């Protein structure tokens, strides 16, 4: 029963991931991307 539960949730995750990637958005945000974004936001605030 637990195996079926995990398999179902994993399949749902893969479907959502595929939809996310098809939409043209990045699937992974790196730390460098986040630091660049914070720098841009701080420059805009000034």
Query: What is residue 24's predicted lDDT score, i.e. its pLDDT?
Result: 74
Q: Which domain holds residue 12?
A: 2-45
Q: Model's pTM, two decimal places?
A: 0.46
Q: Which residues of 7-43 are buried (b: 16+ CB within 10 A; e: fewer)?
A: eeeeeeeeeeeeeeeeeeeeeeeeeeeeeeeeeeeee
User: Mind listing the pLDDT tens digit for each residue in 10-37?
Assistant: 999 999 988 888 887 665 666 666 677 6
Q: How many domains does the chain have?
A: 1
């Amino acid at each position: 029963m637990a195996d079926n539960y995990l398999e179902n949730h994993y399949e749902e995750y893969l479907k959502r991931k595929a939809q996310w990637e098809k939409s043209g958005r990045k699937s992974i945000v790196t730390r460098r991307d986040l630091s660049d974004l914070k720098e841009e936001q701080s420059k805009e605030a000034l």
